[in-house]
Structure 1
């Protein structure tokens, strides 16, 4: 199988999963079989294994797969996604500091602001509510048709008092 064929099969897997999500071992086994067939030597198969584990509530197992993906190397898109998803997993497992540390290495504007959304949730979980609101507002500001300067000032004042 070529890498293009493998990527197509992975995309088809996720399309089918999104249309009819499952959470049983069979769906994890199906993705694992696809991952094992990857002709790539980088971390993309580990990343896909992590994603299905996150998607089926096996969050702790997902973290180990993300770590393996980082160690083997990821393309820029998967690398960014892995930061966001692993941080979200760490947050869900109660490791807020780890989540924030992971997010410190991610572009806050990537993936439509997803790193900022997860960061805001992690800050909220850490009891840092004003910082969480500031991060959420700052992620929203570029999408506002007006009031950008005002909102930026209000956001800044949340933590600079």
Structure 2
């Protein structure tokens, strides 16, 4: 099993996404992109993060950086989330968490003394060559877009 670490090739993926789109590693060949994983659509932290990314899209676009948000939600709640906050970048559904597992972000979490498996809020900046340039683990939603923008300038 390959690991999604800095310098390694980005693991393959193909997922359904908001707006009737499909996102895949193959379709992004030759273009830098940010793949960010978030736990659940339309929750406070995920909303803050998604809206921050949406605000940064014009600058990220100038850097030719594509952005894809990934959650374990089904398409219906993802579509509602995208529409509610006018999120124009693709939000992908990884219901079977195969992509999250490939990137090592489907992890054991705990809340109120109970442990369960869930999505770790993490991001992967991938260069045009398909290699992972930067990894952020346990991302702080409000700081995320700024960190990505800063790192993307170096691509």
Q: Whose relative contact order is higher, 1 or 2, with alpha carbons under 8 Å and at least 6 apart?
A: 2
Q: Same fold (TM over 0.5)?
A: no
Q: With structure 1 as the length reference, what TM-score do the two structures score?
A: 0.23
Q: With structure 2 as the length reference, what TM-score do the two structures score?
A: 0.23
Q: If you compute each CA radius of gyration, which structure gives the higher value, 1 or 2?
A: 1
